[in-house]
Copies of this chain bind each other. A is one copy, B any other.
Amino acid sequence: MRRYILTITCPDRVGIVAAVTGLIASLGGSVLEAAQHADLDSGQFFLRIEIVADSLPFGPDELSAAFEHVAAEFGMQWHISDTDVPKRVVLFSSKEDHCLADLLYRWRAGELECDIPCVIANHEDLRDLVEWHGVTFRCVPVGKEPDAKTAAFADMEDILEKEQADVIVLARYMQILPASFCANRLGRIINIHHSFLPSFAGARPYHQAYERGVKLIGATCHYVTADLDEGPIIEQDTRRIDHGDSAEEMRRVGRDVERLVLARGLRWHLQDRILLNGTKTVVFP
């Protein structure tokens, strides 16, 4: 069923929901799902509403136009998505395939409603996997020298622009993104970190976990910012391990957590279920 998804962030005050739902009701709009959150610290209000497209007398552009005066009155940042216009997701990968294979599987199985115009990788290893799924594979090696690196990311910028990418997913992509690359994409690059952040940020988290002797390992899906491993957290989960598990076995168990956490995070993003709240997220699952 085609739906319009309206997401709103604005300063909290009396009457926001009444104004928004009043407008929708006056247009005959049928609401499928709605969720809201008022953050007492920041004073911000967050709202997400799914409207049945066919219940409105017009399309998303007219809905936007009709909504503008409400938005202005309350000082809203807002967005309307149309489920008939799938988001365009570019997956970034390196050599490890567990997250990439999982996302491609879920996409093929219809669990992730999006287009995947291409996969960008800095190694050739995963070409076969990607192409078997009918997805274009673009290998952009990243040299170690600053100039080579800059050139590589410029190439990737070109690809992203040409492919009109809405979202980037780092599916265990083993290159640090330049700050400039992140700057204009706040809330549009999703990463999976293989630890329960803020524990074990940085390199080799399973090794760190093994050394510390923790009894659970985890994974964290977050939006990427210029501060590595510091971006707004979208989703996390943990699994039990014990003294008998080597760092290698933690990696194996952890791969399952990474897959699930990243898939949940991306699914929520595609459905506009995640709103940024400063360095944190509001998630309406």
Contacts and interface: CB of A to CB of B under 8 A. Distances in A.
Please classify the interface of chain A as helix (H, G, I), strand (E, B), loop, or mixed, using the class held by over half of its residues: mixed
A175 interface: no
Interface residues of A, number: 62
Interface stretch (A20-28, A59-67, A142-150, A161-169): A20-28
Interface in A191-227: 196-200, 212-216, 218
Interface stretch (A113-121, A176-184, A242-250): A242-250
Contacts of A235: 215
A237 interface: yes
A111 B98 CA distance: 11
Interface string A243-276: 1101000001000100010000000000000000
Nearest to A264: B256
Given A98-B109, A196-B199, A18 B21 contact: yes
Contacts of A212: 198, 233, 279-280
Given A28-B14, A109-B98, A238 B216 contact: yes
Contacts of A234: 215
A101 B105 contact: yes
A283 to B, nearest CB: 6
Given A213-B281, A242-B283, A243-B282, A18 B25 contact: yes
Contacts of A256: 260
A37 interface: yes
B244 A216 contact: no
Contact of A283 (B31, B109, B216, B243): B243
B243 A214 contact: no
Given A17-B25, A216-B238, 17 more contacts: A14-B29, A14-B30, A14-B31, A15-B25, A32-B38, A33-B244, A37-B243, A196-B238, A198-B200, A198-B212, A198-B214, A212-B279, A213-B232, A214-B233, A216-B236, A216-B237, A243-B277
Interface of A: 14-15, 17-19, 21-22, 24-26, 28-40, 55, 97-98, 101, 105, 109, 111, 132, 196-200, 212-216, 218, 232-238, 242-244, 246, 252, 256, 260, 277, 279-283
